[in-house]
Copies of this chain bind each other. A is one copy, B any other.
Amino acid sequence: MRAPRSQQLILALDLAGAAVAAQEGAGAAMASRLDVLGVLVIAFVAALGGGMARDVLIGQAPPRALRDWRYPTVAIVSGLAAFAFSRWVREIPQEALITLDAAALGLLAVAGAEKSLDQGLSALAAVLVGAVTGVGGGVMRDVLLDKIPAVLTRDIYASAALAGAAIMIAGRRLGLPNAWAAMLGAVCCFALRMAAVQFGWQLPRAV
């Protein structure tokens, strides 16, 4: 029973994260004046790039995003919706986007760590792969749009992904059911990212 339920949990986290990341990616692509297919490509990469990198890294090629039709469908429908309603999307307040982004970060990071553990990686490797899953799509989006990836310059971003993955794993070790541990990790990542934005928390820079 365990494997299928764990699979379902990863699937739900992955798809929810992908839908949100696709919105964000489409928004950034429209801001760069790309045409409709460019917008879809960026939405696809932003939504599924982190998970595809994860699957290739943990030796699960072809990645699930290519084996399960729901993944590309979610990314493309979400990207198309952002394009079709671009007039409205542009009026979404910045705060709402940051909130969505923090939610996607938590969902994807926890899903990535979850799947790495399922594949028998160590806790340290699972935390690292979780962070790659959380931030990977955004990094590819920014590299394609020829910018320094936001994750490297935004305060408390990758660190929130690392923390969320670590908390999920700690929760499991402490005996929480898998779904609860995942939810706890995602919520902590989300809360940490939102608090950092709200209170202007920053990590130290070198003097």
A residues touching B (Cβ–Cβ < 8 Å)?
29-30, 32-39, 41-42, 52, 56-63, 66-67, 69, 72, 83, 86-87, 119, 121-122, 124-125, 128-129, 139, 143-149, 151-153, 155-156, 158-159, 202-207
Within 8 Å CB of A33, what residues of B?
Answer: 205
Counting from the closest, the 8 A-B pairs by CB-CB distance are A59-B61, A86-B206, A35-B203, A66-B125, A38-B152, A30-B206, A146-B148, A36-B203
A36 engages B144 (CB within 8 Å): no
Partner of A59, one of B29, B62, B122: B62
Contact A205 B34 (CB under 8 A): yes
Give every chain B residue within 8 A of A203 (Cβ-Cβ). Answer: 35-38
Contact B37 A158 (CB under 8 A): yes
In the complex, the chain B residue whose C-beta lies closest to that of A124 is: B69
Given A67-B121, A125-B62, A129-B66, are A155 and B35 also a contact pair (CB < 8 Å)? Answer: yes
What are 12 A-B interface contacts by the 8 Å CB criterion?
Answer: A34-B152, A35-B155, A35-B203, A38-B151, A38-B153, A42-B152, A60-B61, A66-B128, A67-B125, A69-B125, A145-B148, A145-B152
Give the nearest-CB partner of A148 in chain B. B146
11 additional contacts (CB under 8 A) given A36-B205, A62-B119: A35-B155, A56-B61, A59-B61, A60-B61, A61-B61, A72-B124, A72-B128, A83-B206, A144-B149, A145-B148, A145-B152
